[in-house]
Amino acid sequence: MALFAAQRDAHEALLSDAAALQGRSLWQDAGRRFRANKAAMAGVIVLALITLGAIFAPSLSPYTADDLDWMNISAPPSLENGHWFGTDDTGKDLFVLTWMGARVSLTIGVMTTIVALSIGVAYGATAGYVGGRTDDTMMRFVDVLYALPLLFFIIILVTVFGRNIYLVFLAIGCVEWLTMARIVRGQTLSVKQKEYVEAARACGAGPAAIIGRHVLPNVIGPVIVYVTLLVPTNILVESYLSFLGLGVKEPLTSWGVLISRGANSVETAPHQLLIPATFLAITMFCFNFIGDGLRDALDPKDR
């Protein structure tokens, strides 16, 4: 009897061990790989700090965005007078302006990407799922648009309809969805032909269930990677517009606006260019590192 008891105990020990074990999903694996990537994690932390700064930093300064300090025009950064990043050529505090600019630049990066994401995913998924001639026509249209200097349309839109921040969101988003559409379409096309989709269909799943349950989860990976690369692209596009004097209007400011003003006084007060430019560059670095990290984490076969 004792013999059987020992065997049963061993059995139960095995079972309880197995219960204690947790299966790791693909996402958990990806998360683990991502956290192991130092550059990407540094990117996340710095970006989080910049975001927090954009929210809270302006209120830390003794000045507001409207204060004109006539005693300190184009002053270099200094701890004594409270202009930690110096002032611009109207005596406004650059610390406050830079963080206010961060608000606008980051918001624009995110909002334009949401617009581009919605258009791109809808367009790409439709083309990929429907397939055939519809797909051909739709993607041919994307090819045509792809080759055009679309920024010109943004410039025309913005100059003609006025420099409204919502218009900037929409204009940039409406132009930057092309790559997203291509990625989603390609993924949809390949997922659609997988055996498990066929199996799902055989079990009686409708198109909505198949797209929601099988296609989209498999599309999300590359889309997330592209989104992290699209946000900085769009921040750059806005800076480009602002640099030409076509971006956000006073009293709003963005890094592009500040860089544009700083570029005019680069000979006399280089800090006016360097400070917003550094913030822009750091943000670009962060997003690129995060994007690369995500790509490596989500697509390990590519390494």
CB burial of residue 1 (10 Å; 0-12, 13-18, 19+)? exposed
Q: Taking CB under 8 A as the rule, which mask of x and - marks residues 197-236 in contact with another protein?
A: ---------------------------------------x
The verdict on 170 binding another protein (CB under 8 A) reads no
Residues near 183 by beta carbon (within 8 Å), at least 6 away in sequence: 120, 124, 219, 222, 223, 226
- Could you tell me the CA-to-CA distances from 2 to 9, 49, 207 in Å, in that order? 10, 63, 59
By rule CB under 8 A, what string of x and - marks binding of each residue 245-284 to another protein? xx------------xx-xx--xx--x--x---x--xxx-x
Kindly state the tokens that stand for 125: 């998924």
Region near another protein per CB under 8 A, out of 62-70, 145-153, 207-215, 216-224: 145-153
Joined tokens for residue 285: 């670095």
Asked if 240 interacts with another protein (CB under 8 A), we say yes
Determine if 114 is a binding residue for another protein (CB under 8 A): no
In the complex, the smallest distance separating the C-beta of residue 125 from another protein, rounded to whole angstroms, is: 23
Handedness of CA 98, 100, 101, 106 (dihedral sign): positive
Q: Dihedral of CA 151/157/162/164: which sign?
A: negative
- Rounded to a whole number of angstroms, the minimum distance from the CB of residue 158 to another protein is 8
**Alpha helical stretches, state H, 57-93:** none
Q: Which residues contact 290 (CB under 8 A, 6 or more apart)?
A: 40, 43, 44, 47, 228
Least gap, CB of 220 to another protein (angstroms): 23
Of 3, 19, 147, 202, the residue at the interface with another protein (CB under 8 A) is 147
CA 22 remoteness from chain centre: 32
Question: What's the gap between Cα 244 and its chain centre?
Answer: 23
Told to check if 174 binds another protein by CB under 8 A, we report no
Minimum separation from the CB atom of position 157 to another protein (A) = 6
150 binds another protein (CB under 8 A): yes
By CB under 8 A, residue 239 contacts another protein: yes
Please give the residue ranges that form the binding site for another protein (CB under 8 A): 144, 146-153, 155-157, 159-161, 236, 239-240, 243-246, 259-260, 262-263, 266-267, 270, 273, 277, 280-282, 284-285, 288
